[in-house]
Amino acid sequence: MTDRDKKTPAPAAAGSDGSGSEPLLKVEGLVKHFPITKGVLKRKVGAVQAVDGLTFDVRPGETLGVVGESGCGKSTMGRLVTRLLEPTGGKVEFQGRDITHMSAGRLRPMRRDIQMIFQDPYGSLNPRHTVGGIVGTPFRLQGVKPEGGVKAEVQRLLELVGLNPEHYNRYPHEFSGGQRQRIGIARALALKPKLVVADEPVSALDVSIQAQVVNLLDDLQDELGLTYMIIAHDLSVIRHVSDRIAVMYLGKIVELADRNSLYEAPMHPYTTALMSAVPVPDPRRRGAKSERILLKGDVPSPISPPTGCRFHTRCWKATQVCKTTEPPLLQLKTGHQVACHHPENGEDQAPGDAPLVADVITVKSAGAAEPVAEPVAEPVAPVASDEPGGPDASPEAPGSVASEGPEKSAVPATDDEGDGSAAPSTGAEGKPKE
């Protein structure tokens, strides 16, 4: 709790500072489509719309968290921002310079200021190189000669991230998963970058190691004044480290707000569903029913996403306008942007619109089909009342099929009345006498 409270004023401090008046990173309409080819001639037959129209900025000294389901485009967005992938469209500005389609030669000097921590600590390190060679590679590529030599600087970085400087000559296979991730962090911090993009830095680690790496990132940010963009699945981790949070769904940002506003009053239905899935570690709530929201259906394919709002196929508040019109990302509250026609904790942007036939409505209509059967069974009651057993059976079984059971059970109970009543109705007088 104390760590979260200490990080709360970070955005305000960055905005009030003269250097924080302009965003460090500015993204407008970022698009990335991966072509789908077919045949010998590699004809383009479609495209995977991994990222489709992202707009956001990152201020100096803050941490922007990005959350969303697997396949929503979070990692692709991180690689586009660091220019490891070439954007299909849109614009990326870093410190006021457009780096969207900058050549590799012109982009090389800017690599010092933008670094990335990769998701897999096992696959991001070359197994043939020692730790000293891995962490010292940025100095060699950028032509930087640190004071005291490369080896002394690498050993200082290893000690900074909590490793022993004597590990300089060891290979990656001699370390655990958490130690390998620390090596990746040391490599990213070698050239003292201004922006660090961390692509799920703790998802492949144990819970105890996750806490160590997250606390290490916090300490390094306070010590070196770093700016983070952290991509993760764990909402608890994002809440602990982030100042602002962006929620992505199927290649788009559906909500962007500061941490407290998003967790206390989420506005997009998808964000509300994500928050309901977060377990609360409170023993006092043991046995209490949680208000878990279960989304119906699967995530649509990014090859052919739905028209209008991309979440309308799984949303319980979807209406006709959600199916036809894509909602823009608007600021409905101070510092709180949401792309939704019917936000949860805000003014309805399309009041009075006709709802779509969703799975939730289908369940309700199935339950309402039971009382419809009663009027159908009412005409059968007068026919059964002409018989002696009819009045006794009608209050218990209004249905025509169920009323046959009491009549048959009354026959052996009174043999005299059963013979007289059964003979006219069946038309077979000899069978009861036999």
Find the CATH number of the domain harbouring 27. Answer: 3.40.50.300
pLDDT of residue 34: 96
Q: Helices 150-160 & 177-188, crossing angle to 10 degrees?
A: 130
In a domain, 136, yes or no: yes
- The 8-class DSSP code of residue 289 comes to P
Q: Spell out the residues 6+ positions from residue 274 whose beta carbon is closer than 8 angstroms to its own.
A: 67, 235, 247, 266
The closest of 288, 354, 287, 282 to 318, measured between CA atoms, is 354
Does 144 lie in the same domain as 257? Answer: yes
Helices (H), 70-176: 74-81, 104-107, 131-142, 150-160
Q: Is 254 found in the same domain as 116? A: yes
Structural domain contains residue 72: yes
Structure tokens at 218: 């916090």
Domain match, 208 and 160 both:
yes
Query: Does residue 334 sit in the same domain as residue 388?
Result: no
Cα 408 to Cα 361, 404, 405, 411: the distances in Å are 41, 6, 5, 6
On whether the CB atoms of residues 82 and 30 are closer than 8 A, the answer is no
Has residue 305 been placed in a domain? no
Q: Are residues 146 and 214 in the same domain?
A: yes
Total domains in the fold of the chain: 2
Please indicate, yes or no, whether residues 45 and 140 belong to a single structural domain of this protein.
yes
Sequential pLDDT tens for the chain (434 residues): 444 444 544 444 334 333 446 899 999 999 999 999 998 988 999 999 999 999 999 999 999 999 998 889 999 999 999 999 999 999 999 999 999 999 989 999 899 999 999 988 888 899 999 999 999 999 999 999 998 899 999 999 999 898 999 999 999 999 998 899 999 999 999 999 999 999 998 887 788 788 888 888 999 999 889 999 999 988 888 988 999 999 999 999 999 999 999 999 999 999 999 988 877 776 776 666 667 788 887 889 999 999 999 999 999 999 999 999 999 999 998 889 999 999 988 888 878 777 875 444 333 333 334 444 444 444 444 444 444 444 444 444 444 444 444 444 444 444 444 444 444 444 444 444 44
The answer to whether residue 307 is domain-embedded is no
What's the pTM? 0.74
Instruction: Look at residue 125 and tell me if it is in a domain.
Output: yes
Are 137 and 51 in a shared domain? yes
Residues 255 and 401 in one domain: no
In a domain, 321, yes or no: no
**Are 321 and 67 contacting, i.e. CB atoms less than 8 angstroms apart?**
no
Assigned domain for 368 exists: no
CB atoms within 10 A of CB 45: 11
Structural domain boundaries enclosing 414 = 377-433
- Do 333 and 408 lie in one domain? The reply is no
Q: Are residues 417 and 333 in the same domain?
A: no
Say what the pLDDT of residue 155 is. Answer: 94
Residue 408 lies in a domain: yes
Alpha carbon dihedral 262, 266, 271, 276, in 10-degree steps, equals 100
In our burial notation (b when 16+ CB lie closer than 10 A, e otherwise), range 4-29 reads: eeebeebbeebeeeeebeebbbbbee
Q: Is residue 196 within 8 Å of 204, Cβ to Cβ? A: no
Are residues 215 and 156 part of one domain? Answer: yes
Indicate whether 91 and 235 sit together in one domain: yes
For residue 37, the cross-strand partners are: 44
Question: What secondary structure letter does DSSP report for 39?
Answer: T
**Residue 148: alpha-carbon gap to chain centroid:** 46
